[in-house]
Structure 1
Amino acid sequence: MEKIMVLFKYYNDAKLAIENFKSLKKRFGFEILPLYIKELRVPTGVTFLSPSMTMDILKEYEDEYIEDLKNLLLKEGIKDELVVEMGINKEIVQEYLKKVDCLMLEETEYLDEDFLDILKIIYKPVIIVNKSVSSFKNVVIISDDGVKVNKSVNSFIRDFPQVKSVTLLSWNYKYQENNLLELLERKGIEAKIEMFNQQFNTKDEFFQRMNEFDFIIMGNLSKSFFFEKITKRMGVEIIEKATKPIFIG
């Protein structure tokens, strides 16, 4: 049985993460390790007065939020105790990843520093939730046939052996060169290919089609996130445009 660490943040939607976990549990039998890391600095976009006064006010709200989160977990039938830590987010996440098979966290609206730091150091698969709850039934792979998406697909096959059919969705890529298709067929997974090309389609059409699926698989970004954002690389755009959970292996 797989175990997922769900990382809760003060300024994120705990209900959204919990509902996505419950969906994973219902479909795949996942267990949970709920983790909350207390803030050491003022989150991006949160300002009241001076930084020190802002942190004092935030701590009061944060303690209240933690109690509410514990009650919410119980209300939703999750009896596993909420683990509360204080420290550097990425260091704590690295340590607790040793106990689980994958990580779930919520995308922040502007891909803030904490979110990107965690993506840089993860050594196990991550599920990014954003905007909606998934049934995790209709799976799409965003494929450029690169090494990173191949790695994600291998991790997905290992962690979700129940999934036997997927769709490969590509942007500006030639069908004949898609080696990932051969891998999926060898693993006994039926794969349908949909090709989008800038000569005939817009990116908005591509992202609209992507969001018609329940679960998105993509390759990891490079560690130069801001370079990729500035150069408008597809990986960053997928995270920003997706309304459904994303799996990165």
Structure 2
Amino acid sequence: MIKATRALMLATFLSGAMTAGFLAAPASAEETQRREATIMVSGEGKASVAPDMALISLSVVQEAATAAEALAANSKAMAEVLADLKSQGIAEKDMQTSDFSIQPKYRQETSSGNGYEAPEIVGYSVQNGLTVRVRDLGALGGLIDRAVKLGVNQGGNIVFTNDNSDATVEEARKQAVADAAAKAKTLTEAAGVKLGRVIEISEAFARPMPELMAAPMAKMAAADAVPIASGENRYTVTVNITYAIEQ
């Protein structure tokens, strides 16, 4: 009696499972049939603007027989550079120490035999780096010239940027959307279908980086200043848009 009951329960369970499976299949097929036809395109927009700010790296490197002597000489030179930058209107918030190091200098003697000669410390080198944000690009050349005369002997890397690039990026973003829409229109017309609503839109880069372009002329503070060409910054935005295709 117990075995017969168990067999009946098992048969009922299998029958229910098979029925549920057969009932689920039409729903899946129906969902596939209702899936909306779409087209996805990418668009790119570019906008340029003249930079209004520059980041420049300046370093003072001093060498001496002892670390203390090298540090003292370096500190004296860097203090003069900082004071001069302040006198030219550079705010303290726009100056930041970016690299500082004390390194021994070694000399390796050539061994006359097969033995190993350990390197000998013959002096020390102290480097103090400074990153300066220059908001007056017309003064940049003269600033570099004065800094070199006061002891800066390394660095000089310049990156031109914009204090606020929101308006330029917005223009590039609009161009990217227009470019994507034009591509979608061309593709659907060629395929003989009608372009529908926008389903999804995304931006590839939230904050595009500026791209340096060639400058038509140099900006100089004075005739004897370092010639500096600021050029333009180009901001690029890429968008991906998914459109529905009307049936």
Assess same fold via TM > 0.5. no
Normalised by the shorter chain, which TM-score bucket?
under 0.3
Question: Normalising by the residue count of structure 2, what TM-score does the alignment of the two structures yield?
Answer: 0.23
User: Which has a greater percent of strand?
Assistant: 2
Larger Rg: 2
Question: Normalising by the residue count of structure 1, what TM-score does the alignment of the two structures yield?
Answer: 0.22
Considering Cα pairs closer than 8 Å and 6+ residues apart, tell me whether 1 or 2 has the greater RCO. 2
